[in-house]
Amino acid sequence: MVATETVLKTRPVSPLQARLRVATRRVRDVWYQIRRSYVAMAGLLILIFFAAMAILAPFIARYGPLETAPPCNALGQLCPPSGAHPFGTSFGNRDVLSQVIWGSQVSLFVGVLSAIVASVVGTAVGLISGFAGGWIDEVMMRFNDIVLSVPWLVLMIVVAAMLGQIDLTGLILVIGLTGWSITARVIRAQVLTVKERMFVERAKMIGSSNFHLLARHIFPNAFPLIFANTILTVAVSILSESVLAFLGLSSPTHMSWGRIIDESIDGGALINNNPGWLVVPGLGIVFLVFGFYLFGHALDEILNPRLRRR
Amino acid sequence: MGKLLRIVARRLINALVTIFGIIVLNYVLVRMMPGDPAVVIAPRLPGYEGLIDSNRQLFGLDRGPWEQFVIYLQRTVTLDWGISYRWNQPVAEILMRDLGWTLLLVGTATVFIIIFGMIIGSYAAWKRGKPFDLASTGLGIFFYGMPTFWLGLVLIALFANPSFRPAWWWPLLPSQGYYNVNLGPWAWDWAHVSSALQHLILPSLTLAVGSLAGISLVMRSSLIDVMTEDFVLTARAKGLSEQEVLRRHIFPNGLPPMVQLIALDIAFVIGGAYQVEVIFGYQGIGYRTINAIYDLDYPLLQFIVVVGGTAIVIANLIADFILLKLDPRIRIA
């Protein structure tokens, strides 16, 4: 009774305001659970560390990503690790530490944007396929099977070759357009269960259009899953970027971590006694991916506790 | 029973459609790569200009795209894979030579992944929340996100590079090739076999680590899912020993998801094999594939993609059938 009175006393809210309030409350709930989860917080801290590195790169890197440092000896050999170059120098006498700091920008940028591309495509395919059912579902899922069955590295290299020149946009498209299959499957499965829920039946009964059903009922209920899935996809995309760079497919004007590793192989980091050139950018990838996995994994558990892995 | 038959037939038809799709997509993808194989193969020397045209004729690239497609389909269906542009040998012959080594590498890694992944995952689920569980889950996620090629390089630096090796360290392991080439051509004697096994350690370890972590993580969560079910509580309540609960109630219900995951994982192991073969100079199918892409060697590349894709489809099909046998719920639904 008390509750009803309080509601009546407040000013009427517009539907938009109401939805905003529900959304804020939901976000606050999730944030509360994230703060209680050690795994999520550990992941988040790692991500904040790398995000800070990427944003502050212009201030904390002593040299530019492609800038040549003054030579250390008369022979023009690479500098060994020292106070000026904690991890030595690489090709063209570039400071490895500065390259790694700048590289965080490229890896994060490519990873996040290609994950968004993959998620948008995967979500669209999953939503339509799961919602429409019938032959549309059949055709889309068969196509999805085909894409999943072609060896993914070959698929990526061929798409990269098709795009011709590789720049950051090209990389993002290659990784995004080859990485949506798993997302589509996950979203489709979620749509299939949401579709059977009572409120969807009810909305259908009162004559809601398909668009309304998708936009107002199915998408909002699949969204938490999409969000958690996107974060996990970022991790996969960062790995894909490094593999492509290792095979020589990287933007010539940007220094990603994958490209630094690739150059360290060609430049003989081990023979030149400079293991930092190989190890440090690799640790960057490992820890950044670790951060995304931890956070995404924890979020996945928070956002759908009843999700059964199949 | 009729229903079961219908499900099996449906899965079979789906698999056939998927394989046909792979065959078509393969043709389109390979031919959409920029560049002309006839030009790539011809030596860039004066006096060889005429070779480009004769190459084009020889490869049948002077015909229309539809005509080429029909020929490609006919050849694929009759399992006539043509002759490699680059190596001038029948594609099937080249790949049969490579396949043995790749299967050895991928097979060793897969067996290792399945056995240890399941053991670690089950033990972690059993000790849920205890130090072993926390450590194996944390390390699992850590290794799961490690780039395969980088791990290979680091292992080479640690185990195969004399300059960083402390004196008390593990003996040096070989890191290039299938076996010690100084032994001469392959023969089935102890020297060759032991050398091949030593050469297998680093590449298969590199290949296994990531997937091992993945399998153990899923095994753990799948078992934990089952452990929280009511029937497990009932089994304990009726006085079964922990051993029996595990063997009769938890494992039979926790295993079906693993079957499907292992089938899916094969695609990832194959993807990792490309990187491992390049890093370790292990010249199997993966190594061949990367070169076939750069050489625009259509017949070789087409064969690899079709066979690889079909293998993945068949693995999934087998997993589906095993699931059908293991999980009666699918038969009813």
| Cβ-Cβ contacts under 8 Å, A158 against chain B | 29-30, 32-33, 293
Chain B closest CA to A97's CA: distance in Å? 18
The answer to whether ipTM exceeds 0.90 is no
Residue B210 structure tokens: 């990531």
DSSP category for residue A95: E
Q: State how far the Cα of A220 lies from the Cα of A26, in Å rounded to an integer.
A: 12
Nearest CA in chain B to A145: B18
In this complex, do A150 and B25 lie within 8 Å of one another by their Cβ atoms? yes
Which pLDDT band holds residue A309 (cuts at 50, 70, 90)? very low
Which pLDDT band holds residue A108 (cuts at 50, 70, 90)? very high
Q: Quick check: B163 pLDDT over 70?
A: no
Task: Compute the count of residue pairs across chains A and B with CB atoms less than 8 Å apart.
Answer: 140
Q: Quick check: B183 pLDDT over 80?
A: no
In this complex, do B147 and A286 lie within 8 Å of one another by their Cβ atoms? yes
In this complex, do A275 and B157 lie within 8 Å of one another by their Cβ atoms? yes
Chain B closest CA to A85's CA: distance in Å? 20
Which pLDDT band holds residue A8 (cuts at 50, 70, 90)? low
| Cβ-Cβ contacts under 8 Å, A290 against chain B | 141-142, 145
Q: Quick check: B168 pLDDT over 80?
A: no
In this complex, do A278 and B154 lie within 8 Å of one another by their Cβ atoms? yes
Q: State how far the Cα of B190 lies from the Cα of B187, in Å rounded to an integer.
A: 9
Q: Quick check: A47 pLDDT over 90?
A: yes
pLDDT for A119-130, tens place per residue? Answer: 999 999 999 998
Q: Quick check: A301 pLDDT over 50?
A: yes
Structure confidence at residue A310 (pLDDT): 29
Decide if B202 contacts B280 (C-beta within 8 A).
Answer: yes
| CA distance to A73, A94, B40, B116, per residue, from A62 (Å) | 20, 11, 44, 45
Q: Quick check: A4 pLDDT over 60?
A: no
Nearest CA in chain B to A262: B150
What sign does the dihedral B46-B48-B49-B50 (CA atoms) show?
A: positive
Decide if A263 contacts B157 (C-beta within 8 A).
Answer: no
Which pLDDT band holds residue A307 (cuts at 50, 70, 90)? very low
Average of per-residue pLDDT across A99-108: 88
Nearest CA in chain B to A283: B146
**Which of B26, B257, B313 is opposite residue A310, by nearest beta carbon?**
B257
Q: Quick check: A263 pLDDT over 90?
A: no
Structure confidence at residue A125 (pLDDT): 92
Chain B closest CA to A120's CA: distance in Å? 23
- Which string of DSSP letters, residue by residue, matches B105-174? HHHHHHHHHHHHHHHHHHHHHHTTTSHHHHHHHHHHHHHHTS-HHHHHHHHHHHHS-GGG--TTS-----
Instruction: Tell me the pLDDT of chain B averaged across its residues.
Output: 81
Chain A closest CA to B187's CA: distance in Å? 33
In this complex, do A309 and B304 lie within 8 Å of one another by their Cβ atoms? no
- Which string of DSSP letters, residue by residue, matches B19-85? HHHHHHHHHHHHHHSSS-HHHHHS-SSTT-HHHHHHHHHHHTTTS-HHHHHHHHHHHHHTT---B-T
Chain A closest CA to B112's CA: distance in Å? 22
In this complex, do A285 and B147 lie within 8 Å of one another by their Cβ atoms? yes
Structure confidence at residue A65 (pLDDT): 72
Average of per-residue pLDDT across B89-110: 84
**Lowest-confidence pick of A83-92, A233-242, A300-309, B133-142:** A300-309
pLDDT above 70: percentage of residues in chain A: 85
- Closest to B186 measured CA to CA, from B178, B174, B198: B178
Structure confidence at residue A308 (pLDDT): 38
Residue A251 structure tokens: 């933007």
Nearest CA in chain A to B257: A310
Average of per-residue pLDDT across B194-211: 86
pLDDT above 70: percentage of residues in chain B: 92
Partners of B83 in the beta sheet? B90
**Which of A146, A247, A278 is opposite residue B153, by nearest beta carbon?**
A278
Average of per-residue pLDDT across B184-207: 82
| Cβ-Cβ contacts under 8 Å, A157 against chain B | 290, 293
Q: DSSP 3-state assignment of A249?
A: coil
Q: Quick check: B35 pLDDT over 80?
A: no
Q: Which residue has the higher pLDDT, A118 or A178?
A: A118
Q: Quick check: A1 pLDDT over 60?
A: no
